[in-house]
Amino acid sequence: MAIESERKFLVASEDWRHLVTHSVAIRQFYIVAGSDRSLRMRVKNGEEAKLTLKLGAAERNREEFAYSSTLSEAETMARFALGDVIEKTRNIVPHDMLRFEVDEFAGPLSGLILAELETTEEVPDAYLPPWLGREVTGDARFYNANLALNGMPDITS
């Protein structure tokens, strides 16, 4: 078990693109999606499958349990997916001593770009990169399970 401590942001500019050090294609879907728990299957680059259980309200800190799975199991479970299967490219973008994961969504969520910062440290806004936009941590509309169930959120509100 791990405690996930995550901040999430909209992305305001394209300035992050030239800073990417690594990218991975992700396909993920949800088998359980509730206000205080989710069970998702994630496949990275079509090679590695992982089943993850997250517990706790959709806030900054949640308990997370992750288990390796096979691609065959992932394909079987995909038949039970709730809502849409999420497809995205995760880009690793370092900034000073921080590591951002910038997710560029495809398919029905095409055009949505979110940046995540996983850290237990308090990071003052002055240390955040200028390409970040509005913080949406705790805004359940931007959690992947809700994106799968409800589609593209209105990013103007």
The Cα–Cα gap between 8 and 134 comes to 9
The Cα–Cα gap between 87 and 78 comes to 13
Instruction: Mark out the alpha helices in 68-130 (DSSP H runs).
Output: 71-78
The Cα–Cα gap between 130 and 15 comes to 8
The Cα–Cα gap between 29 and 87 comes to 9
Residues in the chain: 157
- Asked about 143 being catalytic, the answer comes back as no
Catalytic residue selected from 30, 67, 127, 143? 30
Q: Which residues are designated catalytic?
A: 30
